[in-house]
Homo-oligomer: A and B are copies of this chain.
Amino acid sequence: NRRVLVTGGAGFVGSHLCDFLVSRGDYVICLDNFFTGSKENVAHLLDKPNFELVRHDVVEPISLEVDMIFHLACPASPVHYKWDPIKTAKTSFLGTLNMLELAQRCKARFLISSTSEVYGDPLQHPQTEAYWGNVNCIGERSCYDEGKRIAETLTMDHWREYGTEVRIIRIFNTYGPRMALDDGRVVSNFVSQALTGKPMTVYGEGTQTRSFQYISDLIAGMVTVMEGPMIGPFNVGNPGEFTMIELAELVKEVVNPKATIVFQENTSDDPGKRKPDITKIKSALGWEPKVVLRDGLALMVEDFKKRLGV
């Protein structure tokens, strides 16, 4: 069976990807430095014969023999990636370079999980893959946004220069079980707040929009791109668009009808709106999301209740 490396495999997205790969019979090496992920996220996989957990920081090179690399390792939420911005940039640049070099040596196929943040505060709406973005390169989000942009550059150049087989996806906001409780993301915040009887914190006016994709749709999209014939970049997201107020209303409805809202000051550089144009992946590879927000929110309540002890 195929040997598949998942960097950042003990994180939110990575652990769901490991679940999928292990269950279809791949031999999975899950690599993580546990900065934002945890052993707990993959605890249920530890006794599988085709799963292996390695503590390693992708900033350092590593010698392995693998056939496929899903490169996810990178802090993903502002509260984490702003914690040590230089380290975040190193993770993005050196981590990607190290994994590309590993892919080149092993002749493995490499997929990088880039982000909708490469579009920054977009002037085109919805965003197609051809849009070059509107990104501040010296702001507080830059370590992440520019880190991912240059990671895409390295990926394309590795293909152009060495013929490394690469795939690029740009993930839009994703939610589901195992999201870090302390990641400050809007879905995890609202659901936790609604479950623990605290008011849901809406930043700014709450009129900014996002599109939210359920984790199972993302995993299907990632695997589809990895196995497809095209490099990308491909947007992987759910085009349903919601204001933060609409999201709060929906959480109230689905999670706790007694939940309340409180408005708080917004952070700088917060993109005003974001919504994927998924024409490219839909027409080229036939992928599209299946889970609507209302259903997805319901699917994460049990996990959050358990972890919050309510």
A165 at the interface (CB under 8 A from B): no
The residues of A with any CB-CB pair to B shorter than 8 Å are 84-86, 89-90, 93, 97, 118, 120, 132-140, 142-143, 146-147, 149-150, 152-158, 160-161, 168, 233
Which residues from chain B contact A161 at a C-beta distance below 8 Å?
84-86
A90 to B154, CA, bound (A): 9
A132 to B271, CA, bound (A): 13
Complex contact A143–B153 (CB within 8 A): yes
A86 to B85, CA, bound (A): 22
Complex contact B137–A132 (CB within 8 A): yes
Copies assembled: 2
Which residues from chain B contact A90 at a C-beta distance below 8 Å?
97
A153 to B85, CA, bound (A): 9
> Quick one: which of A137, A154, A155 has the most chain B CB within 10 A?
A137
Q: Other than the known A89-B157, A132-B134, A142-B157, what 15 A-B pairs have Cβ atoms closer than 8 Å?
A: A84-B161, A85-B157, A86-B158, A132-B135, A132-B136, A132-B137, A133-B137, A134-B134, A138-B152, A138-B153, A138-B156, A139-B156, A143-B157, A146-B149, A147-B150
> Quick one: which of A90, A138, A157, A168 has the most chain B CB within 10 A?
A138
Which residues from chain B contact A156 at a C-beta distance below 8 Å?
138-139, 142
Cβ distance A84 to chain B, nearest Cβ, rounded Å: 7
Complex contact B85–A150 (CB within 8 A): no
Which residues from chain B contact A233 at a C-beta distance below 8 Å?
138
